[in-house]
Amino acid sequence: MDFINFEFDKGIDWGAVEKEAEEEIKEAKKEREINFAVIDAETDPFNGEDFVEPFIWGFFDGSTYIKFDGPYATDHLIDYVGKYRGRVFAHNGGKFDFHFLIEAFEKEKSLTVINGRIAKARLGRATLQDSYCLLPVPLSALEKDQFDYSILEKGKRNLPGNKEKIEKYLESDCRYLYKYVKEFVDSYGMNLTLAGTAMKQWEKMGGKVPKSNKKYYDKFLPHYYGGRVQLFESGIFEGEYKIYDIKSAYPTAMKYHHPIGTDYYETRRPGDALLQNSMISVECISNGAFPMRTRNGLFFPQEKGIYHVTGWEFIKAIETNSISNHKILNAYVFEETCDFSMYVDHFYKMKSEAEAVGDTAKRTFAKLFLNSLYGKFAANPENYEEFYLDDYGAYPKDDYAPAAVYGDMQLFARDLPEDKWKFFNIVTAASITGWVRAYLWESIQKCEGVLYCDTDSIICRNGDALPLGKELGNWDLEGTAHKVAIAGKKLYACFLDTGKTKIACKGVRISADEIVKVAQGETIVYRSEAELFSLKGKKRFIERKVNATSIIF
C-alpha cells in the first residue's frame, strides 16, 4: 500500500502564505466594518387594535436600491441581507423592524441589547445595527417626505397610484437614512452608540477617560441625580404666564471645573474654595433646595433630613438662604478636576455655523454631542445583560437562563460578567448634573409665581430678573401663555398667545384638551396606537388610566 507524503513543499514560503492569509482576513474584517447598507419597512397603519406586519421592505447600500414586496417580502429580505457582508442599519430597528427578523438571527451568536433595544445582532453574514443608538432622533428631524399613512391600509395600498406612492416613500426613507448614517460614520467612525462615540471624541481631543470600580460607584451613587422636575402648583391657570428655557444647560455646566480623577480625601470642614470640587453629605433643614429619592422619583422636601448633594448645590443653597441649621457630616474633596470647554466649544461652534447655513445634519449632530457625553461617565454595567438565541429546548450556556420564546427559537440571558464591567467616574456626572440643578434653583428664586420647572425650564408669572441672551447659559423667553394646565410631572399644556400649544405628556400621547381634563381632576384612558415590542415578552398594546394622582409625586 502506497502512503502519501504530507511533508511541506520546501519550495513554498509558508510564512509568506500565512501572512497573506492573515492580511486577507484583516481586509475582509475591514470590509465588513466599512461596508454598510440600510433597510426599512412599511406596515399596516397603527390602529391600536391589530398587530402589524411588513408588506414591503427596502434595501439600499449607497448605490443599489432593492425592494422586496408580496406575501414573502420578509423572507426574501432575510435571504438577501443574510448574504451581505457588512452592517445593515434600520432606524429604531431594535424596537421595531428587527423584531420581524428575530427568528432568522444567527444561533448562539451574542445579541447586544441596550435598555431593551436590540442594538446589534447577526443575520447570516450581515451585522444588523439600530441607527437610533447613534442618532437618537426621529428621521423626520433630519429629512423625510410628507406622506399620507392612510393609504397603507390593506384596502387602499394597491389602488392605482397608491402603490407607486408607497414605494417612492419607502425608497426616499432608505436613501435619507443612508445619507445621514454615512455622514455620521465618515465624520466620527463606525460605533455602536452616540454616548460611546462622544467619549471617543473627548478622548481624541486629549480629554481624560477615568476608570473606577463598583465600590467607588456605589459609594458616590447617592450624590447622583437627574434633572429637577417639580410641580409648585397644579390645576388650570389663566392670566399671563411665561415659559423660559436655559440655552444649553448641560453644555454650560461642562464649561466649569468638575472632578475627573478618582482620588479624594474626606473632611468635615472643606474650605470655601474646595466646595465645588466636593460631594457633600449634610444634615440640615432644607427649604426645597436639595433632592431626595423616593419610589416615585425625585422629591425636594421642606424638612430636616440628611442630604447627599454636590458642592454646587450646597453653595447655592447657602447663597439663597434655602437651608438652615446645617452640619456637614462628610465632604469628599476631589484633587483632580477639569472642564470640558474644548469639547463644548468645538460642537457649539459647529452647531452655530450649521444653523447659519441651514445644515440640518451638522446642527443635529452637534446638538446630540453636546448633550451625550456627561451621562456616559455614570454608566453602570451592572444594568447590562448578554443574550443569544438558540433552538427551543437547547441547553443554556454557562450562567445563562431562558428568557423568551420566538417560534422555534429561544432567547437566553445572563447578567454581564464582572470581568466585562467598565466603570468611568460617576462623580463627574454627578457634579455636572448638580451644577444644572443648582443653577435652576438659583433662577427659581429670582422668579415670581412659579408653577412648574423641568430640568432647564421654568413656567412662571414673572421671570424678568432672569438673564436673557443668546450666549451659553443665558435664559430664553420661549413664549407667553394666556392659559396653563398643569396635571403632573411631564404632563402640562401651555396655550400660547401665538395660537400654538406647548405640550408635555411623557409616556402617553394625549391632546391639550385631555391634559386640561386631567388637570381639572378627571381620569382619561390612554391606549397606544402602536404595539410595544419587548425582547423578553410578547408584543402588546399599552393601556393606562391617566389622572392627577397617578402623575403627581
Question: What pLDDT digit, counting tens, does each position of 144-199 carry?
Answer: 999 999 999 998 999 989 999 999 999 999 999 999 999 999 999 999 999 999 99
90: pLDDT strictly greater than 70: yes
pLDDT mean across residues, the chain: 91
Name the residue type at position 293: R
Note the pTM of the prediction, 2 decimals. Answer: 0.90
Same fold, 17-192 and 216-337+425-551: no
461: pLDDT strictly greater than 80: yes
Residues 337, 259 contacting (CB under 8 angstroms): yes
Angle at which helix 194-204 crosses helix 162-188, to 10 degrees, equals 30
Question: What pLDDT digit, counting tens, does each position of 234-258 carry?
Answer: 999 999 999 999 999 999 999 999 9
Burial annotation 166-191 (CB, 10 A radius, 16+ → b, else e): beebbbbbbbbbbbbbeebbeebebb
Task: Identify the CA nearest to 223 among candidates 317, 330, 303, 344.
Answer: 330
Cα distances (angstroms) measured from residue 455 to each of 41, 244, 250: 36, 11, 10
For the domain covering 216-337+425-551, report its CATH number: 3.90.1600.10
User: Sorting pLDDT into bands at 50, 70 and 90, what band is 11?
Assistant: low
Angle at which helix 360-370 crosses helix 194-204, to 10 degrees, equals 80
The domain ranges of the chain are: 17-192, 216-337+425-551, 381-420
Report the percent of the chain where pLDDT is more than 70.
93
Provide the pLDDT for residue 552. 43
Q: Helices in 213-269 by DSSP H: which ranges?
A: 214-220, 249-254
Average pLDDT over residues 72-78: 97
Residues 526, 509 contacting (CB under 8 angstroms): yes
Give the H or E element holding residue 355.
helix 341-357
Provide the pLDDT for residue 50. 82
Residues 505, 489 contacting (CB under 8 angstroms): no
493: pLDDT strictly greater than 70: yes
Q: Around Cβ 388, how many Cβ atoms within 10 Å?
A: 21
d(C-alpha 334, C-alpha 319), whole Å: 22
User: Sorting pLDDT into bands at 50, 70 and 90, what band is 33?
Assistant: low
- Concatenating the DSSP letter of every residue in 480-541 gives EEEEEEEEETTEEEEEETTS-EEEEETTS---HHHHHHHHTT--EEEE-SSPBP-SSS--B-
What homologous superfamily is domain 17-192 in, according to CATH? Ribonuclease H-like superfamily/Ribonuclease H (3.30.420.10)
358: pLDDT strictly greater than 90: yes
Question: What pLDDT digit, counting tens, does each position of 310-356 carry?
Answer: 999 999 999 999 999 999 999 999 999 999 999 999 999 999 999 99
32: pLDDT strictly greater than 50: no
Q: Which three cell numbers stand for residue 181?
A: 448614517
263: pLDDT strictly greater than 70: yes
Least confident of 33-37, 366-370, 402-406: 33-37
Average pLDDT over residues 56-75: 96
Provide the pLDDT for residue 58. 98
More confident residue, 7 or 231: 231
538: pLDDT strictly greater than 80: no
User: Sorting pLDDT into bands at 50, 70 and 90, what band is 16?
Assistant: low
Provide the pLDDT for residue 2. 39
d(C-alpha 305, C-alpha 307), whole Å: 6
Question: What pLDDT digit, counting tens, does each position of 109-158 carry?
Answer: 999 999 889 999 999 999 999 999 999 999 999 999 999 999 999 989 99
Provide the pLDDT for residue 6. 33
- Concatenating the DSSP letter of every residue in 91-143 gives TTGGGTGGGGTGGGSPTT-EEEEETTEEEEEEETTEEEEEGGGTS-S-GGGT-
d(C-alpha 250, C-alpha 367), whole Å: 11
